[in-house]
Every structure is written in structure tokens, then in C-alpha cells.
Amino acid sequence: MNPLYAAMPTTIFETMSARARASGAINLGQGFPDSGWPQDVLDAAATALLQGSNQYPPMPGTPELRRAIADHYRVHQDVDLDWQREVTVTSGATEALAAALLALITPGDEVILFQPLYDAYLPLVRRAGGVPVLVPLAPPHWQFDAAMLSAAFSPRTRVVLINNPLNPSASTFDRTALEMLAGFAERHDVVVIADEVWEHVVFDGAMHSSVLSVPALRHRSVKIGSAGKIFALTGWKVGWMCAAPELTHALARSHQFLTFTTPPNLQAGVAHGLGKDPGWFAAMRAGFQRSRDRLVDGLVGAGYAMLPSAGTWFVSVDLAGSAIPHGDIVVADRLLDAGVASIPVSAFYAEDAVTTTLRLCFAKHDATIDVAISRLAAAR
């Protein structure tokens, strides 16, 4: 047995959701919305299920979806992709991450990651034989600078894995930050894997900057996307990788022996959705921004200090700033007893870290947010 798995606990998302179900707590832990998905996307998938093919689709994804992905990024991010040579559909972004890391790393290669990091990254890098090199980011802005990058790069660096917008800190890296990273990536001749699953969920009028829109990164990056986040359909697990043809060749070979294909009917639904009017995406963002503001205003009113949230479905409570003299794990346990499940941000750190930030998911109905606020206020 591989000791990596034998010693591994169940993910914090699964654990907190199970505890919320068992206790009847409001689940602001695992990131999933309770509304906001487009009915026409469900209809398109249902029609494809009943009237289309239910056999293996083409290994890199249906032509319809790959074309829709390329068209979508042309419209929304001014990125020109050759749908036949630069797009691979995967079973969720998680599979895309695994496929990309397996395709790009050989044992002993160093992989630069930014901490806090999404919980799948470290186990996947390690399983691929990569040696993680962590760049610590600090609240409230969670940015890197040239000195931090300079300290992280070495002659053994092969890959940089970046998450933008960043889960759990709900921060974003702008074009200037990506251009700084591009300078290092070029100098050290490395590939950037950019997990951009939250690309459409950005607030306050901001626009997402993709690695593929930075000229120096266009041919040395793998952009990962997920329909789960774009259409509030987290259970669908339809993702994709976009990269230059030479990279896509290796990525598709890696994908073909992980899941090989992704359900064709779900691909049809996503292809339909990606072609929706840009106004739909703006309204979706505005809806989640209203929910963010509702939760933040309520919790600030109850005396909690909140960190900024520029994107994602998450916002963090600053426990230290709220004068709560405990670590996140203790507080998460306590709040679960008070009827609200959350995610301790220490779950996004490599070793036995204990942070003083607690992540909450605000992608919920107003009434649910209001009950959560009153329970959190009472637990203060």
C-alpha cells in the first residue's frame, strides 16, 4: 500500500459536510451553491441524455464542447484557442490537475505552489513524484513579490501551480502579478499550470486575467476550467485543460488513461451554457456578490472581523481580528455545535498549521444566510 494514502485523512470538505448532515447544521463549509444554475443548461443535458448518444464520446471531448470552450474564451478573455489542438475535456478540474501534473512532472522535479493551497494540490504533486516548494502568502491581500519568487525558483523547478482566483483566500492575481511570474517562468523555462476554475466568479467590477492572455505565458501554460463553478453545478464534474498543441499532446495522453472520456450529455449541457449571453454571466456574478455582502454585513454587525473577498463563493472570518482567542479548528468545532458548519483554513496548509481564519460559503439563499448570521451572532 502506498503510505501516502494509508496515512491520509478524509478531506475536510467531506468531513464537515458529513458532520453538518448528521447534526442538521447549516452547511457553509464545502463550496456548493443552493441555487443559481441555469435551467436551459439542465434542459440541454437532459435532451442529450434522452435523444443523443450515451456511448463513449471522443477522448479529448466532444467537438461541440471543445469548440464552445474556444469560442467562450475568445468572447470573454480575448484568448484565441485552436479547439482541435489546444483543448482537452476532463472529468472535472480535479482530473485536469491530476492529468497535468502527471504529464508534466518527472520524479524529483520541483513544483512551486502558493500557500494557502487547494487541498488536492499537495497529494497530487507528491503522487506524481514532484517536490513541492511552497511560497507563503499572507492576509489580507495574499500577494507574491519578486523576492518571494526568486527564493522559490531553482534549477530543478519544472512547474508552477497557481490558483486564480484563489480558494480559500478569495483573492485574485492581477495582470501585473502574472507578468512578473511570466518573467520568472521564461527565465527558468518552466510550465505554469493555472487553476482558473473561479474565473467567472469575481466581484466589484473586476475582470479575470487568464495566464493565456499574457503573451509570455501563452505557450508555456495549462489553463484549467470547470463547469461546476461557472454554472453552479458542482456535481457535474466537467472540466477542461487549454494549452499550446505540444503541451496538449502530452496532457491528452495523460487524460486518456485516467478517465478517458466524460459523459457526453453533460458535455452537451456545458457546450450550450458556454454560449449563453454575456449578460447571464454578469447577473450570476451580481447575485453571488449580493450574497457575499449579505453575509459579510450581517457578521460585521455581529462583531466579526471579515477578510476581503474579491471572488469565489467564499469569505473568511479573521478570528484574531475578531478577538476570538482560539485557532480555526477549535472555533469550527464550536460553531458546528452552534449550528453552522465552516472550513478551518488550516486545511489549506501543508503541515500541522493552525490558522486564525475560518472560511464560509455564502452561495446560499438569503433566508439560510440570515439564520446562519443569527446563529453565529449568538455564538460570538
> Which residues of the shown chain bind ligand PMP in the complex (CB under 6 A)?
31, 92-94, 118, 163, 167, 195, 197, 226, 228, 234, 237, 239
Strand pairing category for 357-361 and 343-344: antiparallel
Please report how close the Cβ of residue 359 comes to ligand GLN at its closest, in angstroms.
8
> Would you count residue 31 as binding ligand GLN (CB under 6 A)?
yes
Please report how close the Cβ of residue 224 comes to ligand GLN at its closest, in angstroms.
13
Enclosing H/E stretch for 9: none
Q: Which does 197 bind (CB under 5 to 8 A by kind): ligand PMP, ligand GLN, none?
A: ligand PMP
Total residues in contact with ligand GLN, by rule CB under 6 A? 5
Q: Which does 237 bind (CB under 5 to 8 A by kind): ligand PMP, ligand GLN, none?
A: ligand PMP
Please report how close the Cβ of residue 167 comes to ligand PMP at its closest, in angstroms.
4
- Closer to ligand PMP by Cβ: residue 234 or 322: 234
Q: Which does 15 bind (CB under 5 to 8 A by kind): ligand PMP, ligand GLN, none?
A: none
Cis amide leading into 308 (omega within 30): no
Asked if residues 321 and 305 have their Cβ atoms less than 8 Å apart, the reply is yes
Please report how close the Cβ of residue 55 comes to ligand GLN at its closest, in angstroms.
29
Q: With b meaning 16 or more CB within 10 Å and e meaning fewer, what string describes 301-330?
A: ebebbbbbbbbbbbbbbbbeebebeebbbe
Q: Which does 228 bind (CB under 5 to 8 A by kind): ligand PMP, ligand GLN, none?
A: ligand PMP
Cell reading at 269: 449541457
- Closer to ligand PMP by Cβ: residue 167 or 368: 167
- Closer to ligand GLN by Cβ: residue 33 or 263: 33
Please report how close the Cβ of residue 270 comes to ligand PMP at its closest, in angstroms.
11
Query: What length does the chain have?
Result: 380
Please report how close the Cβ of residue 118 comes to ligand PMP at its closest, in angstroms.
4
> Would you count residue 30 as binding ligand GLN (CB under 6 A)?
yes
Whose CA is closest to 225, among 206, 244, 212, 207?
Answer: 212
Q: Which does 30 bind (CB under 5 to 8 A by kind): ligand GLN, ligand PMP, none?
A: ligand GLN
Contact mark string toward ligand GLN, 161..180, x via CB under 6 A:
------x-------------
Q: Which does 13 bind (CB under 5 to 8 A by kind): ligand GLN, ligand PMP, none?
A: ligand GLN
Asked if residues 12 and 344 have their Cβ atoms less than 8 Å apart, the reply is yes
Q: What is the dihedral of CA 137, 113, 236, 214, to 10 degrees?
A: 90
> Would you count residue 267 as binding ligand GLN (CB under 6 A)?
no
- Closer to ligand PMP by Cβ: residue 168 or 339: 168
Residue 246, CA distances (Å) to 135, 211, 220, 250, 347 in order: 28, 17, 10, 7, 35
- Closer to ligand GLN by Cβ: residue 65 or 361: 361
Please report how close the Cβ of residue 100 comes to ligand PMP at its closest, in angstroms.
12
- Closer to ligand GLN by Cβ: residue 31 or 130: 31
Whose CA is closest to 376, among 54, 14, 368, 268?
Answer: 368
Please report how close the Cβ of residue 148 comes to ligand GLN at its closest, in angstroms.
24
Neighbours of 179 (CB within 10 A): 14
Residues whose CB is less than 8 angstroms from the CB of residue 120 and which lie 6 or more positions away in sequence, other chains included: 94, 97
Rounded to a whole number, what is the largest CA-CA distance in the chain? Answer: 58
Strand pairing category for 239-243 and 87-90: antiparallel
Whose CA is closest to 295, among 279, 283, 307?
Answer: 307
- Closer to ligand GLN by Cβ: residue 158 or 359: 359
- Closer to ligand PMP by Cβ: residue 312 or 355: 312
Helix ranges (DSSP H) in 302-360: 328-337
Q: Which does 223 bind (CB under 5 to 8 A by kind): ligand PMP, ligand GLN, none?
A: none
Q: Which of 13, 36, 132, 133 binds ligand GLN (CB under 6 A)?
A: 13
Residues whose CB is less than 8 angstroms from the CB of residue 238 and which lie 6 or more positions away in sequence, other chains included: 65, 89, 90, 91, 92, 226, 227, 228, 262, 263, 266, 267, 270
Contacts with ligand GLN by CB under 6 A lie at: 11, 13, 30-31, 167
